[in-house]
Amino acid sequence: MGGCFSKPKPVDVKVELSLLDKEKEVDGLSPNGKASPFADCRLNGALGHGSDDDSTPLPPYHKPRDYVEASVCHVKDLENGQMREVDLGSGRALLIKEHGEFSAMGHKCPHYGAPLVKGVLSKGHVRCPWHGACFNIATGDLEDFPGLDSLPIFQVRVEKDKVIIRANKQALQSQKRSKPMSRCSAVINSSTGFSHVIIIGSGPAALVCAETLRQEGFTDRIVMCTMDRHPPYDRTKLSKSLDITAEQLRLRSMEFLQDHDIELLTEKEAVAIDVKTRSVTFEDGLRMEYRKLFIATGSKPRPMSFKGKDVRNVFHLRTPEDANSIARLANIKNAVIVGTSFVGMEVAAALTDKAHSVSVIGIESVPFKKALGEKVGKAIMKLFEANGVKFYMMNEVSEMIGHHGQLKEVVLKSGKVLRADVCVIGAGSVPATGFLKQSGLHVDSKGFITVNKTMQTNVDGVFAGGDVVVFPFPPRNNKKVNIPHWQMAHVHGRAAALSMMGRASEMKTVPYFWSAMFGKTIRYAGR
């Protein structure tokens, strides 16, 4: 396997359990450039350098004092295929040497701030060491996900065997940049019931679809509709940081969306789609017509049958408000987690330093046995037990008892009683596609929307992506699969946008996901 442009080969699954890397401000060398263990991915749009490209003439408002210039090393300090994090005084940059040429760009991955010097350099691209985002070293462009932003690049020259970097101070501080986007050229009337593109959902697939359309020059109206009350946010962090706020989680602000003419309608639940009239009807009665439609509604919690499921202290973790309530109710109290999904287990881990006790009730005897295998599952289980978490089997449960609208305890068949001041259901999820009944869209027996390799459904002009779809997976001979990963949703959003623009391109990426528990991470690449 090679850089981001090479043809993908059949991929073996790689599971890694390791300490969570903490970013260190160290001028350390990376390993020699090895082939990336992650995705072979394709070019993400044109090789535009963005506004922070120092190789272009400076516009009048860029004054010399806005820039810093520093000699960072001797020309022989770096071998080919090596990277070094260097200090310019006003900030740090990543210096790279490949094929005898030097280049420099931002040193932090814009996704979660990982130190790219610890990543992999291969064929003109750098892979993030944490989650596998891929950046072109010549342009700084993000070419494989996760994440939304690209990196600034800086001018490099060699004088008298000294490597000198010239960089914009603001770019050194921000360590990220957005690709240029077009604006809507149409006169927008928000009361008009028509949009050239309607996007249902506000997760990564939806947001990347909207941004890609603008990056690729789409100048008509885009409306994104979501059941959420907040602008797009990083839902993956909810189960890991229960005290976090929606503002801390947000992926894009309302100002950013407005600046790029991406209209966002919050608390809008789609209840029906009419493909004949090309219209979407919402719960509040609003009806909008579209020319192109992208469905990215994600998943919803798997329903469970138990008495008292409407009690106030039982939660399906979906929103920042849910997470905050769980943290508050569990403080020095007793928490019960039903289900050993990744969300359930992450919540259990997050509660161990808050709750008096944490009990996990699972269907499998070993968590993640089906997904990751018994060996990895047992290692994770021991990690939890070492932190005081108790495990029980679902078939051990006799009843769940509540009083006055609150769950109080879970009684096991052995007679043991588990106190439950708060209960979190983490038993997996199902696609949120119930509103598509009688729509004419092909939905399989499990509720997944069937799409082709360009994310097109069986209906012209209607696309879908993210958790809700089964799609042809190239590394597995185009077998139809569902891969509900945060990273894959980004890929789907871009593929759908390009398809809408008549620039369809086959997806070339390797699925990747991660989980974090007790300061350790699980990183999983492959299918």
Q: What is the pLDDT of residues 50-77, one digit of tens each?
A: 333 443 344 444 577 899 999 999 999 9
pLDDT at residue 428, rounded to an integer: 82
45 or 185, which is more confident? 185
C-alpha 13/C-alpha 511 separation (Å) is: 9
Q: Check residue 307 and give its pLDDT.
A: 56
Task: For residue range 73-105, list pLDDT tens digits in order.
Answer: 999 999 999 999 999 999 999 999 999 999 999
More confident residue, 216 or 307: 216
- The answer to which of 28-32, 320-324, 408-412, 496-500 has the lowest mean pLDDT is 28-32
Q: What confidence score (pLDDT) does residue 296 get?
A: 98
First to last CA, the chain: 16
Contact indicator for 104, 12 with CB cutoff of 8 Å = no
Q: Which of 205, 266, 262 is nearest to 231 (CA)?
A: 266
pLDDT number for residue 13: 45
Between strands 406-412 and 417-419, the pairing is: antiparallel
According to the model, what pLDDT value does residue 527 have?
Answer: 81
Asked whether the predicted pLDDT for residue 233 surpasses 70, the reply is yes
Q: What's the predicted TM-score (pTM) here?
A: 0.86
Asked if the model's pLDDT at residue 8 lies above 50, the reply is no
109 pLDDT above the threshold of 60: yes
Mean pLDDT of the chain: 87
Which distant-in-sequence residues (6+ apart) come within 8 Å of 273 by Cβ? 279, 280, 281, 293, 295, 435, 436, 439, 441, 462
Predicted confidence (pLDDT) at residue 5 exceeds the cutoff of 70: no
Q: Are 525 and 128 in contact (CB under 8 A)?
A: no
269-306 pLDDT, tens digit each = 999 999 999 999 999 999 999 999 999 999 998 876 55
Average pLDDT over residues 111-128: 96
- With beta carbons less than 8 A apart as the criterion, state whether 142 and 215 touch: no
Can you tell me the mean pLDDT for 329-346? 94
The encoded tokens of residue 86 equal 């260097």
Mean pLDDT of 433-458: 95
Residue 33 has pLDDT above 80, yes or no: no
Asked, as a colleague might, if the bond just before 60 is cis with ω within 30 of 0, I would say no
Portion of the chain with pLDDT greater than 70, in percent: 86
One-letter amino acid of 85: E
CA distance readout (Å), 125 to 9, 121, 141? 18, 6, 10
> How many Å apart are CA 358 and CA 512, to the nearest integer?
29
Give the mean pLDDT of 469-484: 93
Give me the count of residues in the chain: 527
List strand residue ranges (DSSP E) for 310-404, in order: 314-315, 334-338, 357-362, 390-393, 397-403
**Dist CA 130 CA 48 (whole Å):** 26
CB 14 within 8 A of CB 526: yes
Contacts of 348 (CB under 8 A, 6+ apart): 335, 337, 358, 360, 384, 389
Cα–Cα distance, 35 to 141 (Å, whole number): 19
The pLDDT of residue 21 is above 60 = no
CA 356, 361, 362, 366: dihedral to nearest 10 degrees?
50
Structural Rg of the chain based on CA atoms: 24
Strands (E), 241-383: 262-265, 270-274, 279-282, 287-295, 299-301, 314-315, 334-338, 357-362
Q: Can you give the pLDDT at residue 64?
A: 75
Distance CA 399, CA 422 (A): 16
Q: Which two tokens stand for residue 170?
A: 């603001």
